[in-house]
Amino acid sequence: MLLNKNIRLLFCKRSEKEFFLQLYYLLGFYPNNIFYYRKAFTHKSLNTINKQKLCNERLEFLGDSIIDSIIADYLFSLYPNEPEGFLTKMKSKIVNRKSLNQIALQLHLNTYLQSNIPNIKENDALGNAFEALIGAIYLDKGYEFTKKYFIKSIIEKFFDINFLENNDSNYKSQLIEITQKKRQTIQFVSDIENSVANDNQIRFTTTILIDEQPFATAEGPTKKDAEQNASKIACEIIAAQ
Amino acid sequence: MLLNKNIRLLFCKRSEKEFFLQLYYLLGFYPNNIFYYRKAFTHKSLNTINKQKLCNERLEFLGDSIIDSIIADYLFSLYPNEPEGFLTKMKSKIVNRKSLNQIALQLHLNTYLQSNIPNIKENDALGNAFEALIGAIYLDKGYEFTKKYFIKSIIEKFFDINFLENNDSNYKSQLIEITQKKRQTIQFVSDIENSVANDNQIRFTTTILIDEQPFATAEGPTKKDAEQNASKIACEIIAAQ
C-alpha cells in the first residue's frame, strides 16, 4: 500500500507532492483524492473565479451532518443505558462552535486554510474548515473510515468524556441544542434590576421563552450568569417531563 | 440467502415469525436482528418495567442524525454546483416534523407502533417512530445499506425533488433551519393591527428577532401569512449576505 502511494507520488507535481505529504502529517493516513482536501482548505474570502464551486462551504455542510451522525453513534454505544436527553446533552457538549474552533486550532488548520481573513486564529472559519475536512474525508474514504478516524483521532484525543459527563456548566448551549432538536424557537430576555435592599447592587433577570411562551426565569450578578441559571432550571424542567 | 432466512424462520417463535415477515413486508428486506425493530416500534407511553431501555427514544436520537447525513450526502451529490445555502434549504424541505409524520403514515407505521396514545395518526410519535426505524436499520445493517434503502425507498418514493426545488412556500421552516445551522436563536413576534383606512380590517405584523436583534418585519392578513412574509424577507437578506 505504502509502495503504491510512493509510486504515485513520483508522478505528482512538486506542489501536489508537498500537499500530499502535509495531509499525511496532519491526518495520519494517505488520502486518495487530494482535490477534496484542497477544497476543504479554501475559504470563500479568496478571490477565486468560481467561488461556490471552489470554496469549502458545501463540504462544511456535508461534514457538519457527518460529524453529528458519528457522535450520535459513538454516544449511543458508549452509554447503552442513558436516556435520549442525556445523549443530546453530551452531543451538544462535544459539538459546538467553540469546540470545533478549538479542535481546528489544535490541528493547526490555520496553517492549511487559504483565506484572506486577517486574524484567522480567532475566526469561526477555522471550525468551519474542520467540518469541511471531515466532509472531504467522508467523500474520499467513506463513512466507516471517517467514523474510525473521528473517534480515534478527534474524540479520544481531544475530549475528556468523563469530565464532560460530569461538567454541566454550559446549560445555555445544552438548552439551545435541546430546543433545536425539537424544532422549537427559543429566546433569552434579560433585564437589569437595581436592588435597593442590597446597596444598589445590579442584578440581572433572564426569562427564557420557548415557542414564544415563558418557560423559566432566574437571576444572577451578570447577564451571562442569569442566562445560565435560567437555562439550568429549564433543562431540569425538560429532564423531569 | 432467502433459504438461509427461511431456515432461520423455522426456529422462531410464532410471534417472532409474524413480526419478521411484517418487517419484510414493510421494508422490502430481511432484518438480521428484529430486537432493534421491536424497540423502534415501542413508544414510551407503554407501561414497561424499564422505560428508557425499552422505548424508542434513544433510537430516535440516532436515526435523526443518520437521516440528516444521508440527505446531506444525497443533496451534495445531486446538486454539484449549488451553494451551501441552497442545500440547507432543500434539506429543511425534505426533513421536517410534518414530512416525517407523513412518511410514517404512508408506511402505515401506526399499525406497527405499540403505544397508549389515542389518536396516533395525528401524533408526532409516528414521525419519531420513523426516525427510530432508521436508527434500527443503521444498527442492524450499517450506514451504506441504510443510505441505499433511504434514497431508494424513502426519498425517491415519497419526494418530488423537482417540485421541492421550485417550491419555496415554507420560508418559516427554511429560516428556522438556517438559524439552527448557525446556532442562532430566533423568535417570531406578531401583533394585530386594526386598519381604520381599510374598513377596520385586521392585519398582522410579524417581526423576526435573530439572536435577540430585529432582523425582518412584514405584515399579512393572518399571523401565518405575516410570519411567512417576514421569513421570506429574512431568507432573502441571508441569501444576499
Q: Which of B166, B187, B217 is the last residue of a domain?
A: B166
Domain identity same for B197 and B99: no
| pLDDT tens, position by position, B212-223 | 889 999 888 778
Domain identity same for B162 and B176: no
Residue A152 main-chain phi, psi, to 5 deg: -75, -45
Which of B53, B55, B60, B69 should be substituted to probe chain A, the one whose Cβ sees the most A Cβ atoms within 10 Å?
B69
Q: Do the Cβ atoms of B72 and A62 come within 8 Å?
A: yes
Domain identity same for A148 and A76: yes
What mean pLDDT do residues A99-123 have?
90
For residue A54, give the chain B residue with the closest CA: B81
Clarify whether A131 is annotated catalytic: yes
Q: How confident is the model at residue B5 (pLDDT cuts 50, 70, 90)?
A: low
Residue type, position A121, single letter: K
CATH of the domain at B123: 1.10.1520.10
Q: How confident is the model at residue A171 (pLDDT cuts 50, 70, 90)?
A: confident
Task: Give B125's Cβ-side CA count (13 Å radius).
Answer: 23
Domain identity same for A201 and A98: no
Domain identity same for A152 and A218: no
Mean pLDDT of the residues in chain B: 86
In chain B, what residues touch A62 (CB-CB under 8 Å)? 72-73, 76
Cβ–Cβ contact B158 with A under 8 A: no
Domain identity same for A227 and A204: yes
Catalytic residue numbers of B read 64, 131
Distance CA A191, CA A172 (A): 17
- CA distances to A226, A240, B10, B111 from A172, rounded to whole Å, are 10, 17, 54, 39
Q: Do the Cβ atoms of A185 and B187 come within 8 Å?
A: yes
Cβ–Cβ contact A83 with B under 8 A: yes
Q: How confident is the model at residue B238 (pLDDT cuts 50, 70, 90)?
A: confident
Q: Is B43 exposed, middle or buried (0-12, 13-18, 19+ CB in 10 A)?
A: buried
Percent of chain A clearing pLDDT 90 (strictly above): 45
Cβ–Cβ contact A148 with B under 8 A: no
Domain identity same for A79 and A10: yes
Which member of B83, B143, B189 has the closest CB to residue A144?
B143
What mean pLDDT do residues B81-87 have?
89
Cβ–Cβ contact A66 with B under 8 A: yes
Lowest mean pLDDT among A48-62, B78-92, B101-115: A48-62
Q: Which of A127, A148, A166 is the last residue of a domain?
A: A166
Domain identity same for B188 and B135: no
Q: How confident is the model at residue B3 (pLDDT cuts 50, 70, 90)?
A: low
Highest mean pLDDT among A11-25, A44-58, B117-131: B117-131
All cell numbers assigned to B26: 414493510
Domain identity same for B39 and B106: yes
Looking at A64, A82, A165, A225, which residue is catalytic? A64
Cβ–Cβ contact A14 with B under 8 A: no
Distance between B54 CA and the closest CA of chain A, angstroms: 10
Cβ–Cβ contact B58 with A under 8 A: yes
Distance CA A52, CA B85 (A): 10
CATH of the domain at A214: 3.30.160.20
Which member of B57, B65, B87 has the closest CB to residue A72?
B65
Domain identity same for A161 and A203: no
Determine the pLDDT at residue B119: 84
Q: Which of A115, A133, A166 is the last residue of a domain?
A: A166
Determine the pLDDT at residue B75: 96
Distance CA A202, CA A197 (A): 11
Pick the more confident residue, B17 or A108.
Answer: A108
Domain that holds residue B26: 2-166
What mean pLDDT do residues B90-107 have?
90
Which of B183, B210, B224 should be substituted to probe chain A, the one whose Cβ sees the most A Cβ atoms within 10 Å?
B183
Q: Do the Cβ atoms of A53 and B81 come within 8 Å?
A: yes
Determine the pLDDT at residue A141: 98
Cβ–Cβ contact A64 with B under 8 A: yes
Q: How confident is the model at residue A5 (pLDDT cuts 50, 70, 90)?
A: low
Residues 6 or more apart whose Cβ sits within 8 Å of residue A152: none
Distance between B175 CA and the closest CA of chain A, angstroms: 11
Determine the pLDDT at residue B69: 98
Determine the pLDDT at residue A14: 78
pTM score, two decimals? 0.72
Determine the pLDDT at residue B239: 76
What mean pLDDT do residues A83-96 have?
88
Determine the pLDDT at residue A148: 98
Domain identity same for A33 and A132: yes
pLDDT > 70? residue A10: no
Full DSSP string of chain A: -HHHHHHHHHTS-HHHHHHHHHHHHHHSS--S-HHHHHHHTB-TTS--TTHHHHSSHHHHHHHHHHHHHHHHHHHHHH-TTS-HHHHHHHHHHHSSHHHHHHHHHHTTGGGT-B---TTGGGSTHHHHHHHHHHHHHHHHH-HHHHHHHIIIIIIHHH--HHHHHH----HHHHHHHHHHHTT--EEEEEEEEEEGGGTTEEEEEEEEEETTEEEEEEEESSHHHHHHHHHHHHHHHHHH-
Give the relative orientation of helices A84-94 and A57-78 as an angle to the nearest 10 degrees. Answer: 140
Domain identity same for B127 and B95: yes
Percent of chain B clearing pLDDT 70 (strictly above): 88
Asked if residues A148 and A140 have their Cβ atoms less than 8 Å apart, the reply is no
Number of domains in chain A: 2
